[in-house]
Every structure is written in C-alpha cells, then in structure tokens.
C-alpha cells in the first residue's frame, strides 16, 4: 500500500526502489504551454452554467479590443491618406523648389540651363504667378494665375492628364489643343472647375482678368484689364486648386503682368522631392545671388500642424486600446474566482503554480489576440470600402458627410500602411499580455487547501 501510494513521488538517486526501468516507465510532466494547458484555457473561456457572467465580460473585452484596434487603424489610415494626397496634389501642381528674387529674372534661359545641368534636377520651368480679379456677367472671383510655357502646362498630369486611379480625364470641358497658339501666346486660358462654376463659364466663353500690375503713374499703379477665352476647364479634385488657380501661356503672362522679357521665378522639380533639402545647396550654386525656397519651407506650418495632430491622435487612440485591454483584467479576476475549486483540484492532481499561471495567461491572451485580429480585419475592410461607406451614410442621413469645399478632396483619402498596422497590432498585443499577468499570478498563488475547505 505504501509503495502504491508513493508511486507519484520522484525516486531518490541511489535508493533501492529507483531503477532505470521505473524511471523510463513513469510518465513525464507536460512542458510549458502544452496541449493540456491550451485545452483548459479554451474551456475556461466558454460559457458555463455557473460562469455566464464571466463569459459575457470576456465577450465585452473581445469586442472592446476589436473596436479600439479597428478605430485606430481607420483613423491613422485616413490621416495618412490626407497627408499623402495633399503632398501628391501639391507637388503635382507646384514645383519642388523655386528660384526667385525680388527683381524680375531677365536671364532665365541661361539660369534654366544651369539648373537642368544640376544632378538630380528633372525639370526647370520659368514661371509668373500673380493674383487677378476675374469677372463675368454672372459674377466675379479672385484667383491666382500661373503663366507657364504651354508644353509645361500640358505636362502637369493633374491639370491636362488622366487620373491614375479612376482613368478619368482632369480636363472636364474644352482642351489644351489651342493653348498657347496665336499672337503673343494667344488668348486661351485654363481655369479650375469651381472657378468656372462660380463664374458661370464653359469652354469658349470670355472672361475678363483685372490686375493691379498696370502702368506706373504719379498716383501709383493703374489697373490692367484684358478679356480672355476659356480654352479648358480642369478639375484636380482639390477645392483649393479647382477654385483659385488658372493657367496662362508664359508669353501672354509676361505682357499682361508687365514683366517684359523677364519672369518672376523658375520652378524646379527634382527626382526625390522628399529629399529637397539636400538639393538646395546645389541649386544655390547654380543660381548665385538668388533665393531658393523649397516646398517644405513654403508649407512648413501646414504640414507641421498635420504631423503634430497625427502624433497626438496616435497617443489618444493608443490609450483607448489600453483602456479596452483593461477589461481583460476584470474578466480574468472573475474567472479566477469562479474557477477557484477547479484550480484547487488541478493543484492536488499535480499541476504546478507555473502551469496554473500559464492557463490563465493563455485565457486572457486569447481574448487579446483574437480581438486584435478581428480589429485588423474590421479596420482593413472599412478602409478598403471607405468611399462606399461614406456614400451610403451620406445617402442615409441625407447630408454630405465629406464636403469637398471643407476637406479639399472629392473623395475620402485613406492609406493603410503595413508599418502603422504592425505598430498598432504590437501595442494591442503588448497591452493584452501585460493585463493578463496579474490575474494569472493571483490564480497561481491560490492555496488548494483553503480553496477546498468550504467546498
């Protein structure tokens, strides 16, 4: 009887009963995170007659983590999409750097050649940009006219090309076929779709431009007025450009704005616009005595505000994920209380403290992992169908949820990046694992004698 009662004890080296055959025949204890521990952890998450409340809390924790992760993915994707679309349209319409001076640049042809000879420079475009007042019989509006060579305007995809995503032409009325043709550059100009709508213009209609850069008199500058013909109406998809930008042939622009044979600035495009600061010293060498202004300097405050907003939003949403993960603690604490007798039985059957701790750690971790995966799937599905969802909600609520005149874009931009998703998933899993440690540790320290005393 004594021998049978002590068969579960480990044999002591050198004792008469401890033979190699006995050691080989005795079953070894399962290792960490064994199938037995996984089985117990899964069973503890299922609803039982005495633990329905525990299961409900586990479901709430799962849903909370999934919604928090999905929200974080959606918000960061939309913010990244906004930034990328803004930069894409900004650099699609404007250059990457501007060589300019207080005085008009007369030798711009030689300057352009020197800039083009600089390594990394893709193009150099003479340019005049000035505000004008456009009037028609329907209304009036203040716009910015960019006077450029006709071939340079046609090379701007956002103005005269085709949208890469939808395949739709950016020219919504008229064409650029006659742009720049005629005496002194002709009288055709191109305007944005919103400007055309506000002024009641279509291709072929006349529009009068008024500039303050007229002849100098003793009483100051006079107004310069001339009527042009709308040759093309373009739509960038950004209300700022569609409502405030127009294009004019460079030769006509020099005459209208009184620059003679000079230009206002030279617009430069480089191979890598994100690294424009590295090109600035090279551009300064090619243009001695002139100022170099990069696109990052022109829009520093705007994009700095976007970056700050994005960082603060990430922190706030990370905290929301952390709060959702804290629900795991509540569920596990109640699960430990509900399974007190089960823990005691497992301990008396030989389960170690480490095994009990791993069982409850796995129970909480499964909630976090499954909730995170569900959140990623939900967030990705939302981002991939965000335009359809926005259209459906706008129709259902009978209101425009994404007005282009406020948000600059005709559609909701979203860009879900792998590194951002990985950062979100890592944070969610980290919080899920951390919140399971304390309840699992409390379960492992449970005394089986005290647990079974009142059973």
Considering the domain architecture, whether residues 179 and 60 belong to the same structural domain is answered as: no
Residue 270, SS3 per DSSP: strand
Q: Distance between CA atoms of 270 and 272, rounded to whole angstroms? A: 6
CB-facing half-sphere around the CA of 11: CA atoms within 13 A: 16
Q: Distance between CA atoms of 455 and 446, rounded to whole angstroms? A: 15
Q: Distance between CA atoms of 302 and 308, rounded to whole angstroms? A: 10
| Number of domain units in the chain | 2
Spell out where 274-427 has E strands: 291-294
Q: How many residues does the chain have?
A: 455
What is the span of the domain harbouring residue 125? 121-270
- Is residue 299 one of the residues assigned to a domain? no
- Is residue 400 one of the residues assigned to a domain? yes
Mean pLDDT score, 161-187: 86
- Check residue 98 and give its pLDDT: 93
CB atoms within 10 A of CB 128: 22
- Is residue 18 one of the residues assigned to a domain? no
- Is residue 434 one of the residues assigned to a domain? yes
Considering the domain architecture, whether residues 59 and 129 belong to the same structural domain is answered as: no
Q: Report in angstroms the alpha-carbon separations of 257 from 98, 143, 181, 232.
A: 19, 14, 19, 21
pLDDT, one tens digit per residue, over 264-322 is 999 999 988 888 888 889 999 999 889 999 988 888 887 788 778 888 888 888 888 88
Residue that terminates a domain, selected from 270, 296, 331? 270
- What one-character DSSP code corresponds to residue 214? -
Which residues, in sequence order, are CB contacts of 136 under 8 Å at separation 6+? 199, 200, 201, 205, 206, 207, 208
pLDDT, one tens digit per residue, over 49-70 is 555 555 777 788 888 889 989 9
pLDDT, one tens digit per residue, over 385-416 is 888 888 888 888 887 777 665 565 667 888 88
- Is residue 264 one of the residues assigned to a domain? yes
Considering the domain architecture, whether residues 320 and 236 belong to the same structural domain is answered as: no
Considering the domain architecture, whether residues 314 and 265 belong to the same structural domain is answered as: no
Q: Quote the pTM value.
A: 0.68
Mean pLDDT score, 105-116: 91
Classify burial at 366, counting beta carbons within 10 Å of its beta carbon; exposed 0-12, middle 13-18, buried 19 or more: buried
- What one-character DSSP code corresponds to residue 172? E
Q: Distance between CA atoms of 331 and 45, rounded to whole angstroms? A: 10
Q: Distance between CA atoms of 216 and 222, rounded to whole angstroms? A: 6
- Is residue 313 one of the residues assigned to a domain? yes
Q: Distance between CA atoms of 229 and 430, rounded to whole angstroms? A: 63
Considering the domain architecture, whether residues 246 and 179 belong to the same structural domain is answered as: yes
Considering the domain architecture, whether residues 247 and 165 belong to the same structural domain is answered as: yes
- Is residue 125 one of the residues assigned to a domain? yes
Considering the domain architecture, whether residues 359 and 413 belong to the same structural domain is answered as: yes
Considering the domain architecture, whether residues 261 and 317 belong to the same structural domain is answered as: no
């Amino acid at each position: 009887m004594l021998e049978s009662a002590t068969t579960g004890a480990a044999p002591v080296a050198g004792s008469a009963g401890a033979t190699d055959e006995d050691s080989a025949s005795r079953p070894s204890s399962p290792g960490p995170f064994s199938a037995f521990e996984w089985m117990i952890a899964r069973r503890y998450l299922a609803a039982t007659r005495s633990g329905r409340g525990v299961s409900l809390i586990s479901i709430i924790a799962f849903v909370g983590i999934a919604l928090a992760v999905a929200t974080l993915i959606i918000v960061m994707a939309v913010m990244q999409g906004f930034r990328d679309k803004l930069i894409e349209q900004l650099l699609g319409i404007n250059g990457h750097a501007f060589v300019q001076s207080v005085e008009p640049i007369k030798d711009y042809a030689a300057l352009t050649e020197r800039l083009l000879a600089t390594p990394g420079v893709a193009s150099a475009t003479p340019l005049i940009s000035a505000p004008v007042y456009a009037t028609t019989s329907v209304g009036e509006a203040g716009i910015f006219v960019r006077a450029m060579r006709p071939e340079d305007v046609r090379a701007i995809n956002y103005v005269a090309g085709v949208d890469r995503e939808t395949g739709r032409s950016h020219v919504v009325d008229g064409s650029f076929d006659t742009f720049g043709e005629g005496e002194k550059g002709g009288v055709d100009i191109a305007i944005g779709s919103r400007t055309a709508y506000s002024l009641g213009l279509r291709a072929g209609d006349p529009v009068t431009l008024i500039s303050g850069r007229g002849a100098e008199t003793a009483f100051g500058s006079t107004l310069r007025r001339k009527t042009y013909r709308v040759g093309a109406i373009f739509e960038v998809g950004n209300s700022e450009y569609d409502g405030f930008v127009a294009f004019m042939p460079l030769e006509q622009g020099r005459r209208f704005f009184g620059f003679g044979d000079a230009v206002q600035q030279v617009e430069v495009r480089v191979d890598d616009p994100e690294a424009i600061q590295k090109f600035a010293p090279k551009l300064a060498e090619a243009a001695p005595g002139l100022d170099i202004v990069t696109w990052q300097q022109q829009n520093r405050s705007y994009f700095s505000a976007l970056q700050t907003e994005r960082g603060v939003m990430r922190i706030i949403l990370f905290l929301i994920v952390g709060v959702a993960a804290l629900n795991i603690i509540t569920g596990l604490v109640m699960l430990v209380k509900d399974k007190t007798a089960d823990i005691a039985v497992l301990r008396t059957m030989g389960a170690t403290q480490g095994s009990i701790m791993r069982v409850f750690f796995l129970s909480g971790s499964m909630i976090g992992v499954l909730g995170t995966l569900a959140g990623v799937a939900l967030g990705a599905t939302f981002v991939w169908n965000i335009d359809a969802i926005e259209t459906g909600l706008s129709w259902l609520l009978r209101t425009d949820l994404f007005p282009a005149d406020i948000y600059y874009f005709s559609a909701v931009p979203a860009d879900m990046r792998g590194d951002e998703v990985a950062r979100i998933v890592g944070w969610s899993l980290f919080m899920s694992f951390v919140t399971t440690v304390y309840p699992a540790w409390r379960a492992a320290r449970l005394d089986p004698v005290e647990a079974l005393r009142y059973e």
